[in-house]
Structure 1
């Protein structure tokens, strides 16, 4: 049985099951789900808790099985937590988890929670995961994507009795907040808690509160209080570039550089997009339908939608120039110089990313019209 994280609270109100599996890479949301299960368990008499972290291939699963089968002298109900950071329990662990899943149905005094990272398709097809899903409840935590982050922040602020200003001013505040905390949900939570301490709910409606007494946050208050704790994923850079969002691209590149990301990895991400666009364009020229060409290049999900939007905007000349630029930048990030390009690897990466971004942001020209000249992102590349 699978449920979404927002459904967990209502599910727990109807009663605890004997087995839960929490999986996902978003640590804050996974921890909050675990805290909700723990709190419900305490209220229902599970006063003893044991926790085991599976580390290495030689982990002794007999300790976990013994903990699940033993009765405490001081409590008649216990909570057993099994953390598997790698998501790979191994052969012994596979058997142990299947045994725990089956035993959970026959032991009302034991509540078992298994914690896993994000699971791929192959792992979900394994016998041990199928047993966890069959005999218990699986809660799969999904990351909060950038476009959903402002709404998530607004909901968290509302839970603290706070909100931003109405209309465009409030949306600007939420977008600024999201830019500051993107990719770092734990830090985002801390910043929201900090705002609750700095600007608490007034005891009665007053200046800075709405009619209900909620604290109204201004852009200036958020700007002065919220730290820049964003963490960027190099593979998310691809979405920003193909989406034609130059300001976001520059911000992500600056963040990746500050975090010490390898220049060659950033270049590989950009170059692979250019190569993939070229291969799909060539396949279409040879008569393949776009969906088939995308599947052949293993492009799906968000990238598939971006490719579908971008490909009509790209000419063969654009792609040839971008391929040549990617070749030049490959040399620069490996220490070679080029007379027409910046000597700094990061400046060269800015120039390549913004060149691709500019082409992706262009409008498809009307019939008989001419494509506008590509804007030159020279300010970053000088």
Structure 2
């Protein structure tokens, strides 16, 4: 049975499942969910715990033998299995299938995995986990949801802040939910319950955002100038190679060109997204960008990318970082184009 993370608390109140599998790319949320499951299991008398971490040398017979062996003291137990790679391999896959066909009695099995792609979710071992127990997909907190998430966390410690302060805090911790959690805890230690002012938050919170090139690409195609500048600045500060950034942005432009040309020729959007290898949550913003940005602008962007490549390789004059900035600004939505005049250098 598959449930949402938000449904876990309610599901635990109804029953204790023999198997819980959590997978996703947000370590903080997975950690909190597994802590919640273990705490609930302990309250139900599952006091013994066995931990298994799968690596390339892991012997899967250990898991099967442990499942077949009853507790030495007759206690209920928690079997905690962690698969950091998300790929158990052929032997591990078969072992998981076998384990799921006869889950051990008086045992709660807790399995944690990283993000699993569609191919992995279609595998026999993953389907066996879903059929035998409770499966929970743990999705990252989207950027537009982060201020609300922070507000909820503050409310749990009897604190609150206005929308502008929440947005500031979200900007400072973008892409780093664990750091957001730590900063929120810091505010609880330093200030009493009640309203937090912008100055209080600003004085305490560090810029702990974690940026990657895909966040920059997303900001470019959505025309979000402020975010594009912030992420690009962060990547430069972290020492990210400009060639890697350029390759990511250029590939995104090529994908948009494929889709835009197809749209102009009357091809179905779903077919174009598949051809450009755009999946999941990215389909909606990419399609919106392809519909908004003209083919001429996209081709000019590709020409600009080629010039930036020559700058990086030292065969053309110019500042590559400035070129990357101007490339992003060229895709700004019309309402934001006034901001471009205020930005002349990075």
TM > 0.5: yes
Structure 1 residue 352, shift from structure 2 partner: 1.8
- Determine helix, strand or coil for the equivalent of 1:47: strand
From 118, 122, 126, the equivalent of 2:123 is 126
- Determine helix, strand or coil for the equivalent of 1:130: helix
- Determine helix, strand or coil for the equivalent of 1:113: strand
Q: 1:377 to 1:325 in 2, by over 3 A?
A: farther
Q: 1:374 to 1:152 in 2, by over 3 A?
A: closer
- Quick one: distance in 1 between partners of 2:240 and 2:159? 36
- Quick one: distance in 2 between partners of 1:117 and 1:289? 33
- Quick one: distance in 1 between partners of 2:269 and 2:123? 34
From 237, 251, 266, the equivalent of 2:230 is 251
- Determine helix, strand or coil for the equivalent of 1:305: helix
Q: 1:376 to 1:328 in 2, by over 3 A?
A: farther
**Is the Cα–Cα contact under 8 Å of residues 257 and 290 in structure 2 kept in the other structure?**
no
**Is the Cα–Cα contact under 8 Å of residues 47 and 75 in structure 1 kept in the other structure?**
no
- After superposition, residues 256-275 of structure 1 pair within 5 angstroms as 256-275=235-254
**Is the Cα–Cα contact under 8 Å of residues 250 and 350 in structure 1 kept in the other structure?**
yes
Q: Which residue of structure 1 lines up, in the alignment, with residue 44 of structure 2?
A: 44
| 1:68 matched to 2:67 | yes
Q: 1:238 to 1:198 in 2, by over 3 A?
A: same
Deviations 1:165-222 (A, max 9, x none): xxxxx11001000001111111111111111111133xxxxxxxxxxxxx11111111
Structure 1 residue 287, shift from structure 2 partner: 4.2
Q: Could you state the TM-score of these two structures normalised by the residue count of structure 2?
A: 0.93
| 1:219 matched to 2:198 | yes
Unaligned stretches of 5+ in structure 1? 165-169, 202-214, 364-371
Unaligned stretches of 5+ in structure 2? none
Question: Larger Rg: 1 or 2?
Answer: 1
- Quick one: distance in 2 between partners of 1:129 and 1:254? 40
**Is the Cα–Cα contact under 8 Å of residues 53 and 82 in structure 1 kept in the other structure?**
yes
**Is the Cα–Cα contact under 8 Å of residues 49 and 78 in structure 2 kept in the other structure?**
yes
Deviations 1:66-98 (A, max 9, x none): 222222333521111110011110111112111
**Is the Cα–Cα contact under 8 Å of residues 329 and 340 in structure 2 kept in the other structure?**
no
- After superposition, residues 161-180 of structure 1 pair within 5 angstroms as 161-164=158-161, 170-180=162-172
Q: 1:373 to 1:223 in 2, by over 3 A?
A: closer
- Once superposed, what is the RMSD of the aligned Cα atoms? 2.2
